[in-house]
Structure 1
Amino acid sequence: MSCITSTDSVASDRSDETSDDGPDEVSEVECIINPKIQKVSQYVIENPESTNTQLFSMLALLSAYVPGSYLLESECQQILGPPDPIHGGPPFEERMKPFIDFISKSGPKCKIHQKLAPECVVLLNDLGISRSATARNLMSSLCGDQIEPHLIRFIKDLLTKREMGEKVKDKFSRLIEDIKKHEGFYKALSVLRTASDKFGLSPVFPQVVARLNYIARNPPHYGYAIKWANKAIERDPLNSYFADTLGQIHKHRLLKTEGFENIMNIADKAFEAFKDVERKAEEEESSKTATADTGSTSDTFNNRGLFGFLQVAKITFEKLSQQQRKSLIQNKKMEVEAKFEFFEWYLGFSRPDMKTLEPPFFWKDVAYCYKHYTTIPAAESTSFPGLLVCLDHGLFTSKERRAEFLEAEKTVSDLEEIRGVLKTTYEENVDDVKVAERYILSNIVLSNKMPDSPQLTSVRELKTIIQRFLGIERSHRSPGFYLLVLLLLWPEEKPPALQGDATQLPLDLMFDCDLQQYVTLMKKAFERAKYAKYLRGRHLLPLFFLGKGSGLSKWVHKSRLDAVVEEKVDVELAGEQEDINTKKSVRIADMWIKGEVWQLPEIQEILLPVECQSPVRLQEQEEQEVCICPGENKILDAAVLRPPLFYLGFTIQGPVVFPVGRPQVTVTSEENSLAGHQGHEATVDI
């Protein structure tokens, strides 16, 4: 018999002390056989089909698997049936004996104490009341024509919400996983099919049925999986996440397929399915996008169509002989190259959030697929985003390292060779702005590795190159172009001999009057290039920081900060033995999030703090405004009020500031200023 924690505080007369918003407080004592449990067990054995036993099992199931869930007393009365207390029937507490000691009531809401609920579910299962039977009973009892919104939400979470495991999400919800484990595949299938019937307009449940049929069924039944995936698509034909399920089924089937004709047949279906996902994702807006798990609004672009296509291309290539691959490469090479280019800048400019990185297999699949179809290693790319991340090679946080590629750190000679090749290419294509961008960037990257390299082109010459393109076709330039404009035209630090009011300085010493214009143009280019669409909801990575040097060397690549942070964390974790990579990732992320990186002497030594033009207070959940003058280190007299110090950086969207000595504040560019969004953010005018 299952054992439940004993406590006399688990009683309805103490329910007013339990908050709906927080966890139930239950005494932490040794697990012993409680006489009340013996009484409940005996009652369930004798009355397994009584309405109060059924209600208790439903409350236990909800409370165990959906924290914060409840049933309204009116819903409980619906399950208990007549006579209702308002018509002279016995009160709820009387009808729920002997279960009432385990039920918490807060106003009209009823639930089982969360720490007791899982044990109650196990006990009931041991006594013959299974999880699957209870789930079906819950839906048949309460899911009629009119279903309360809170109940819809609870049942969706109960059957579809996947928890995050140590490294990846679970395949199914905790309840479905437990039903599979303790009752078998078909019981889980029965529950989900019941939900699909009860919620006839929802695509979520047929989607999970489809996934169950090809992931959990042994052997997989791809026919049923495809049938249910199509049913989900029929219920929401514009949603890219439900379309993705069909692509995943074909991809899974491809892995198990042999024979050239069979392989190509399944591959073609998979390619088409993922192209459909891509088309639908392109048409989705963030305010209307539904996620696969919950059917709620998604703030991120669905990249599964693009990534799924590359995975299918990689799998198909690896299944074919060298002779059979020729036509495949000829037909798919251009599409593979285009999708590789997408992920090269997508992963180079952003990450899911400040704590999270893409899983290791992500870049591994992208890079392997690209090499299969082009014979070129991804690490040798000299595209604009490829150059931006080439200094990351060898770092713990680099996508190459996470993908377990043995990519060596770029040497000075490597970077000088890249710069030399791009110089030659530029000289042969002086009117090609894309070639010019790469040539200029190669010099900035090289200067970060060796500031006094004799191969470096002078800043004056690089400015001349960029200014050739400034006055023409402004509406067609990329965000990367304006990033280079800002880096090259950003004025040097104010000469020490010049004192007095900043407004009295010559314009060329105080700031370039066109800088704000270029910030605005960069923002517009970010929108025009659809980066705002594709990178929405993701954390934009700072690419460069303003340093204490001059010329090109005043721009510090983020990799130099990452190297300092990594060395610091390695020292901290020197004695650790277990799960070192996970601990290292968490600690590095924490240092950025908490602003500890700005306190490291090695970083303070290379970055140049700037002061805002007017004093500000940075507070959580408020949009703030600060002003800085490029070229100026001191704006206000310290005797009046010393404003906070900032470090200045650039993302692909524009300038950002990071308050020195405070948690990270990200500030993004808007049309006439660097505007913050809700959160730890501020606004900067240039």
Structure 2
Amino acid sequence: MDECQRILGGPPFEKRMEPFTVLIKKSGPVPERVCMIHPEIAKSAVELLADLNISRSDTMRQFLDQCEAKPHMVKLIKNLLTRRKKGEHGKDKFSRLIIDIYENQDFHQALSVLEMASDTFRKNPIFPQTTARLYYLEVRDYNSAEEWAQEAITRAQNNSYVADTLGQIHKNNLLRKAKKQRDVEEIAKKGYSAFKHVERKAEREEGPEKKDTLGVVSTPDSFNNRGLFGFIQVAKIVFEKLGKTRAAASYPNLQKEVKDKFDFFEWYLTYSKPDMKTFEPDYFWRDVAVCYKHYTGKTAAESTSFPGLLNCLDHGLFSSKGSRARFEETENDLQRIRDELKTTYKKNVNDVKVAERYILSNITLSNKEPDSASLSPVKELQKVIRKFLCEVECRSPEFYLLVLLLFWPEEPDEVKQEEDVEVKQEPELEATEEDGSQDKTWEDVNTDEDQDTGGEADNDPDPDPQAMVTLMKEEFERAKYAKYLRGRYLLPLFFLGKGSGLSRWIHKSKLDVVVERMVLDKLKAQTDKRNKKMRMFHDVWIKGEVWHHPRIRAMLLPVQVEPCNSSTTSQRHEEVFVCVGEKKIKAKVEEKVYGPPLSTMLYYLGFTIQGPVVFRVGAPHSEQ
């Protein structure tokens, strides 16, 4: 109120506003603020002023001229000039006010407001950053845009998001203007350099929880992947403008750079998504996969990396990242992949990464063909991974995920059922001459010969699941997954099902098949299906409809849980003990409660790349 009086001057503010009292309200209390009672009334008032030749830009410039750089005023002006509304297809280019000034007046009026804000708040980087975006997005003045982007970087030298704007300017210039080879190469060089700077700055940033840590200079809520993705986009554009030979020479070790960034985004998009309601834009994976094919000659669908194997089961689903990228996806020959990885493993029995992929190929095959005679027995796969458990080395979260899947406790009747099934499966791996295992003992290396002859490994106790959960969480931090995936929703990769052995681990794609059928059934009588399909897909998961479908309830095995009152439990995430026989294993609880809060609860167990997670589901009334 006092701020309004100071800006307006003249009679007391309350007296001056008497004719309009019914249209305004006070909010606050500290500092006390005045605002219109409804956005539509505010919009109508602005339009009426514009009809009286009091333009939006004049009003904003007068406001900037009178205001002081107090924190709450800076926040207000920042919101007015830079907050971009998020719609169904992403964020608007600019704030609503800048868009209105640009559309109802012209570019120069919008520019003058942003330049005045930049001059008024000389330490704030967001106003010159937005000015740079206006230059390159609306009039393609790349030189002026570059100058303003450099000014923004000067004001926030450690902020990767501010640095990204310069890379976007060069990428846009490369895509829209550069035609001659020399221009393409020169602008590409600038683009590569800018995005590598973004990448390095993002690596130095930490999450908000480390805000007060010595040496931490920037703490955004999420990891900034734009340096990595922007580099990929520049490489893709250069290839398409110059061809493979000249493109490969545009940056040192470019093929390796592209391969490394493809590997990053393959697991990044397999293990997480921005939030429960959205995926990355459709073009995101398309650009990554196309660039990868340009420089390596391989398709993303051919990948048999750990995340690549997990993706195999998604092929053909409209929710898969390949389908959303508009790729033609065919089903992978999981039997062939599994056989090839078995052969590779037999030649590399000491390579833990090869062992992980071999084991996972059996689990993915069991999800597609549960009765396949080629599936390796669970006990054989347990022996494969035991060898690496005996070694005193740090392992990956993927490694401990497999340990938990293979050694998760079973009830006695489940164990007997598993043994009956395994009688029909193929014999265990035999040692090969190449690995030289005939002369080694169990203590030297847990070879297939030891396994076949029933060495000491058969008497070893199963690894403690709670210890494996603890190690998995520690490796999630050490492998920097916690850094890169902060602020994102971790996707469940597997769920505990009602089967035994490998068949009790249900890949998420089997649930997605049912969800997609639910969505398509709902869409039969509707138009504009494309825009609604993905929104409805997310809604089925978010609203918990997925858990009450008969087919999914027939797949999943409810688990027993007990409260966990550990003093180390994060205040942000509730934890419970999952009780299996005499074992109690900690698991994070999914924050959403799927069902009426007072209903009988069911608990389903899933696994993310961080560890076990329990989904708390309200049981239908018929079961209460």
Match of 2:130 in 1: 208
Check 1:381–1:74 CA distance in 2 against 1; reply closer, same or farther (3 A cut): same
> In structure 1, what is the equivalent of residue 609 of structure 2?
652
- The 1:122/1:644 distance shift into structure 2, 3 A limit, reads closer
Q: Give the 3-state SS of the residue equivalent to 2:604 in structure 1.
A: strand
1:482 aligns with 2:400: yes
Distance 1:496 1:193, change over 3 A: closer
Q: In structure 2, how many angstroms separate the alpha carbons of the residues matched to 1:325 and 1:140?
A: 50
The two structures, once aligned, show a CA RMSD in angstroms of 2.6
- 1:180 partner SS: helix
Q: Distance in 2 between matches of 1:424 and 1:496?
A: 30
Are residues 1:447 and 2:366 paired? Answer: yes
Give the drift of 1:340.
0.3
Question: 3-state SS of the aligned residue for 1:612?
Answer: strand
Q: What letter corresponds to residue 402 of structure 2 in structure 1? A: L
Report Cα offsets for 1:206-237 as digits up to 9, x if no partner.
001111111112xx211111110000000010
The residue correspondences of 1:146-161 to structure 2 (distance < 5 A) are: 147-161=69-83
Instruction: Kindly report which structure 2 residues correspond to 1:514-525, keeping only aligned pairs within 5 A, or say none.
Output: 514-525=464-475
SS at match of 2:506: strand
What is the percentage of aligned positions where both structures have the same residue?
58
> How far did residue 631 of structure 1 move?
5.0
Q: Do the aligned partners of residues 490 and 134 (structure 1) sit closer, same or farther apart at CA in structure 2, a change above 3 Å counting?
A: same
C-alpha spacing 1:102/1:546, structure 2 compared with 1 (3 Å) = closer
- Which residue is 2:512 aligned to? 562
Aligned runs of 1:136-175 on 2, under 5 Å? 136-143=61-68, 147-175=69-97
Give the corresponding residue for 1:22: none
- Runs of 4+ aligned structure 1 residues displaced above 6 Å come to 632-635
Matched residue, 1:456: 375
Larger CA deviation: 258-267 vs 186-195: 258-267
Q: CA deviation at 1:98?
A: 5.0
SS in 2 for 1:628: strand
Task: Decide whether the 8 Å contact of 1:209 with 1:225 is kept in 2.
Answer: yes
Structure 1 residues 250, 634: CA separation in 2 closer, same or farther (over 3 Å shift)?
closer
Aligned residues: 548
User: Which position in structure 2 is the counterpart of 1:593?
Assistant: 542
CA 407–529 in structure 1, closer or farther in 2 if over 3 Å, else same: same
Of 420, 429, 447, the residue aligned with 2:339 is 420
Please tell me the residue identity of whatever aligns with 1:116. I
Aligned to 2:440: none
Unaligned runs of 5+ in 1: 1-72, 83-89, 290-294, 499-507, 636-641, 664-686
Say whether the 8 Å CA contact 2:494–2:505 is kept in structure 1. Answer: yes
Q: 2:143 maps to which residue?
A: 223
Q: 1:327 aligns with which of 249, 254, 277?
A: 249
- Residue 536 of structure 1 corresponds to which residue in structure 2? 486
Residue type of the alignment partner of 2:150 = N
TM-score (norm 1): 0.76
Q: Which residue number corresponds to residue 412 of structure 2?
A: 494
Counterpart position of 2:154? 234
Whether the aligned pair in 2 keeps the contact of 1:193 and 1:205 (CA below 8 Å) is yes
CA contact (8 A) 1:370 1:376 kept: yes
Partner-residue secondary structure (3-state), 2:499: coil
Change (3 A) 1:168 1:513: closer
Q: Does the 8 Å CA contact 2:601/2:618 hold for their aligned counterparts?
A: no
- Partner in structure 1 of residue 433 of structure 2: none
Max radius of gyration: which structure?
1
1:378 aligns with 2:306: no
2-side partners of 1:199 and 1:296: how far apart?
A: 20
* 1:308 equivalent in alignment to 2:230: yes
Q: What is the CA distance between 1:496 and its match in structure 2?
A: 8.3
Shift of 1:165: 2.7
Contact 2:206 2:219 in 1 (8 A): no
CA 625–258 in structure 1, closer or farther in 2 if over 3 Å, else same: closer
Shift of 1:307: 0.2
Counterpart in the other structure of 2:349? 430
The match for 1:575 is: 525
Q: Given residue 112 of structure 2, which amino acid in structure 1 is its aligned partner?
A: S
Between 1:569-578 and 1:529-538, the stretch displaced more is: 569-578
> 1:375-425 CA deviation, whole Å, 9 max, x = no partner?
100011000110011100111110001111110233xxx001101111111
Work out whether residues 540 and 546 of structure 2, in 8 Å CA contact, stay in contact via their aligned partners in 1: yes
The offset of 1:515, in angstroms, is: 1.1
Correspondences of 1:637-676 after superposition (within 5 Å): 644-661=601-618
Question: In 2, Cα distance between the equivalents of 1:586 and 1:296?
Answer: 34
TM-score by structure 2 length? 0.83
* 1:243 and 2:163 aligned: yes
Following superposition, the deviation at residue 93 of structure 1 comes to: 3.8
* Structure 2 stretches lacking a partner, 5+ long: 212-216, 417-457, 566-570, 586-598
Counterparts of 1:75 and 1:280, CA distance in 2: 39
Aligned-pair CA distance for 1:299:
1.3
CA separation of 1:624/1:174 partners in 2, compared to 1, >3 Å: closer, same or farther?
A: closer
Instruction: Evaluate the alpha carbon distance shift between residue 446 and residue 77 of structure 1 in structure 2; reply closer, same or farther with a 3 A threshold.
Output: same
Q: Which letter does structure 2 place at the counterpart of 1:121?
A: V
Partner of residue 109 from structure 1, selected from 28, 33, 37? 33
Q: SS at 2:25's partner residue?
A: strand
C-alpha change, 1:296 and 1:662, in structure 2 (3 Å) is: farther
Give yes or no for contact 2:205–2:218 (8 Å, CA) kept in 1: no
CA distance in 1, matches of 2:243, 2:272: 37
Map of 1:68 onto structure 2: none
CA positional deviation for 1:336: 0.3
> Is residue 557 of structure 2 the alignment partner of residue 608 of structure 1?
yes
Change (3 A) 1:179 1:388: same
1:278 alignment partner, one of 199, 205, 224: 199
- Residue type matched to 2:413 in 1? P
